[in-house]
Chain A
Amino acid sequence: MNLFRRFNSKIASTLVHPGRSFLILLTLAVIFVFLILPLLVVFTEAFAQGWKVYKSAILQPDTVAALHLTLLVVSIAVPLNVLFGIAASWAITRFDFHGKNLLLTLIDIPLAVSPVVAGMMYVEVFGLHGWLGDWLSLHNLHVIYAVPGIVLATVFVTFPFVARELIPFMQAQGSDEEIAAVALGARGFSIFWRVTLPNIKWALLYGTILAAARSVGEFGAVSVVSGHVRGRTTTLPLQVEMLYNEYSFTEAFAVASLLTLAAVFTLAIKTFIEITTERRADRNVSGEDR
């Protein structure tokens, strides 16, 4: 980032600026029309009939249940994601093994596959007529059209987030400090806890936040496996869709505003982390210079 900034100032000082104002204005206009305006619409529509209506829309039992379900899904999917992300990036950056590149490619699959397809795959495997359907119904286990299915779909979709943040970071950092820790007598978990984790914590937090944001907002995959049972298998995004389809626009926008607030909150944390890590990087650079 720091380097980038220096590079930028160099461009500004060595080039004349043809179309400078035009390009900046164009970017701002596009952002306003496609991002800011719709965001404003969400809030104006949500409050169109006043604060009281907004409040009662949000406090509807079905909406509260949807909020609870969403939080539950996030609290299961995100820790799983963190565990997997750390395990995968550790394996990939610290060990040499056959099929490493294949593994790296596999991790990216959820980003390439449409979430709807992901949902259908789970229906095909866990559904009543799916591969495991007979076994599951024999043991009275419900995956599809129930909470476990929603969790599975969310986990699938957010699978790569933490790993993709950590792998390049840990590759760049190398394993020098861990080897030093080994030489000083530290073992397995102690090395991870005292040396690795403090070094990767910002990248880890960043990946976790992205994964959490996606878990909250995931629509496609969850929509397929949820079954839309009001008050039971409906997450917040599904609730928005259902209200909207019923022409309850104010309620729909009220719930949508919750999701929007979550997104704004995520962006704020993300920016904070970026600023913090950038400062650390700056300090590192000035340290190298001496």
Chain B
Amino acid sequence: MTISLQNIRKSFGSFVAVNDVSLTIPTGELVALLGPSGSGKTTLLRAIAGLETPDSGSVQLDGKDVARLSVARRGIGFVFQHYALFRHMTIFENVAFGLRVQTGKNKSSRREIRERVEELLQLVQLDSYAKMYPDQLSGGQRQRVALARALAVRPEVLLLDEPFSALDAKVRKDLRDWLRRIHDELHVTTILVTHDQEEALEVADRIAILHRGALLQEGTPQAIYEHPNSPFVYNFLGNVNLFHGRLLAEFTQSDESSDISKSAESSIGFVRPYELEISRELPADAHAVLATVAQIHAVGPVVRVDLKVAGNTQPLTTELARSRYNELDLKLGDKLFVYPSALRVFHDRLAVNEFFVQGAGI
């Protein structure tokens, strides 16, 4: 089922939760609505489900406006952040619930219900837990039950509201892979709301990034990661080094785009840690600055090095492969040349200002 949102707007009192968002979600895709808390992503999801009524704009499912359709008739499955399992029912009854409350010609027989529930419990690998109660299960298991419960009525759209955020890191990662496998198996159009960029980048076919109720950018994970269209998106998708003022001017001298040096005050340069190169000799083809090694985090396959540049309060962070690190033989206090292999400059004074007002979370 294709979901199409047109100019959705929703405010709570004076707080504008969703501000004029239009977005189309193609059939069978897994789309992540990504944004920090308060960005309006959950409100948008609830508007699609019918749990929230937009102030204006329309929600269309397969081209049909569903404003007048109740939640029950939209054919959606909803998974909540805190599972919201029925605590007084067994796992079996939880999954069967949606089938049991069906009325009229859709009503399933007892046998159909039993078969469907058993099939779903197998899908989520919890068939031996059918007789247990939710409070006897771990968080990850409960969320799998919640997913099975949502899938029981064969929804055409699956809506997941931060489904993994209450779980610890390891379980979260497992469930993420597992969700992707289930999606590949069932091809239900799925919207995943998350504030975790890693989760969105890894699991989704497409990502829509929301910030303060507005849709900033939409596209495949790769496109968004490689071509962020705003300072906010750039920063939100991963660690980043910021350059402004003198340092930016220094790095971009050779570009001969004189407007950068002129407007360096209002521009910011962005470089991801792994795009920041270091070497002991002054490179011939790049504009490098001298820096001092301030900290080394050498745990894991990638080594993180913090560098101090004279006159810059924020240290620069660079990530390098362990082999390169060994080759350079770095020690605290070493003096090195640092230069970016890729640099993205945003000139938009407005976007930049907004970025700093936000504090950018670094």
| Residues of B61-91 contacting chain A, CB below 8 A | 71-72, 76-78, 80, 82, 84-89
Out of B49, B86, B87, B135, name the residue touching A183 (CB < 8 Å).
Answer: B49
Q: Is A177 an interface residue (CB 8 A)?
A: yes
B98→A185 contact, CB < 8 A? yes
A186→B135 contact, CB < 8 A? no
Q: Is A181 an interface residue (CB 8 A)?
A: yes
In the complex, A265→B149 CA distance in Å? 42
B72→A288 contact, CB < 8 A? no
Question: Interface size of A by Cβ–Cβ distance < 8 Å?
Answer: 21
In the complex, A182→B89 CA distance in Å? 16
B97→A177 contact, CB < 8 A? no
Q: Is B137 an interface residue (CB 8 A)?
A: yes
In the complex, A135→B134 CA distance in Å? 58
A183/B136 contact (C-beta < 8 A), A194-B101, A195-B86, A199-B87 known = no
CB nearest to A173 among chain B residues = B87
B135→A180 contact, CB < 8 A? no
B88→A183 contact, CB < 8 A? no
The smallest C-beta distance from A82 to any residue of chain B, in angstroms, reads 19
**Residues of chain B contacted by A180 (CB below 8 angstroms):** 78, 80, 84-86, 149
A182/B71 contact (C-beta < 8 A), A177-B84, A177-B86 known = yes
**Residues of chain B contacted by A183 (CB below 8 angstroms):** 49, 51, 71, 76-78, 150
CB nearest to B106 among chain A residues = A185
CB nearest to A287 among chain B residues = B135
In the complex, A181→B72 CA distance in Å? 9
**Residues of chain A contacted by B152 (CB below 8 angstroms):** 184
In the complex, A43→B108 CA distance in Å? 60
Question: Interface size of B by Cβ–Cβ distance < 8 Å?
Answer: 29
The smallest C-beta distance from B100 to any residue of chain A, in angstroms, reads 8
**Residues of chain A contacted by B138 (CB below 8 angstroms):** 290
In the complex, A177→B78 CA distance in Å? 12
**Residues of chain B contacted by A190 (CB below 8 angstroms):** 101
A182/B97 contact (C-beta < 8 A), A176-B82, A199-B87, A287-B135 known = no
In the complex, A225→B230 CA distance in Å? 77
In the complex, A290→B51 CA distance in Å? 32
| Residues of A172-207 contacting chain B, CB below 8 A | 176-177, 179-187, 190, 194-195, 198-199
B98→A177 contact, CB < 8 A? no
Q: Is A283 an interface residue (CB 8 A)?
A: yes
A179/B84 contact (C-beta < 8 A), A184-B97, A290-B138 known = yes
B137→A185 contact, CB < 8 A? no
Q: Is A284 an interface residue (CB 8 A)?
A: yes
**Residues of chain A contacted by B97 (CB below 8 angstroms):** 181, 184, 186, 194
In the complex, A283→B100 CA distance in Å? 27
**Residues of chain B contacted by A186 (CB below 8 angstroms):** 72, 97, 101
**Residues of chain B contacted by A284 (CB below 8 angstroms):** 87, 135
In the complex, A288→B134 CA distance in Å? 10
**Residues of chain B contacted by A290 (CB below 8 angstroms):** 137-138
**Residues of chain B contacted by A195 (CB below 8 angstroms):** 86
In the complex, A290→B167 CA distance in Å? 12
Contact with A along B281-309 (1 / 0, CB 8 A): 00000000000000000000000000000
Which of B97, B150, B152 counts the most chain A CB atoms within 10 A?
Answer: B97
**Residues of chain A contacted by B71 (CB below 8 angstroms):** 182-183, 185
Q: Is B32 an interface residue (CB 8 A)?
A: no
Out of A184, A194, A288, name the residue touching B153 (CB < 8 Å).
Answer: A184
Out of B72, B101, B137, name the residue touching A287 (CB < 8 Å).
Answer: B137
CB nearest to A183 among chain B residues = B78
In the complex, A284→B85 CA distance in Å? 13
The smallest C-beta distance from A256 to any residue of chain B, in angstroms, reads 41
In the complex, A283→B150 CA distance in Å? 26
**Residues of chain B contacted by A288 (CB below 8 angstroms):** 135
Q: Is B102 an interface residue (CB 8 A)?
A: yes
The smallest C-beta distance from B101 to any residue of chain A, in angstroms, reads 4
**Residues of chain B contacted by A187 (CB below 8 angstroms):** 72, 101
In the complex, A111→B88 CA distance in Å? 33
Contact with A along B86-114 (1 / 0, CB 8 A): 11110000000110111000000000000
**Residues of chain A contacted by B78 (CB below 8 angstroms):** 180, 183-184
Known A181-B101, A199-B88; 8 more pairs at CB < 8 Å: A179-B51, A180-B78, A180-B84, A182-B71, A184-B153, A185-B101, A186-B101, A199-B87
Give 8 CB contacts A-B under 8 Å: A176-B80, A180-B86, A184-B97, A185-B98, A186-B72, A187-B72, A190-B101, A199-B87
Closest 6 CB pairs of A and B: A287-B135, A184-B98, A185-B72, A183-B78, A176-B84, A180-B84
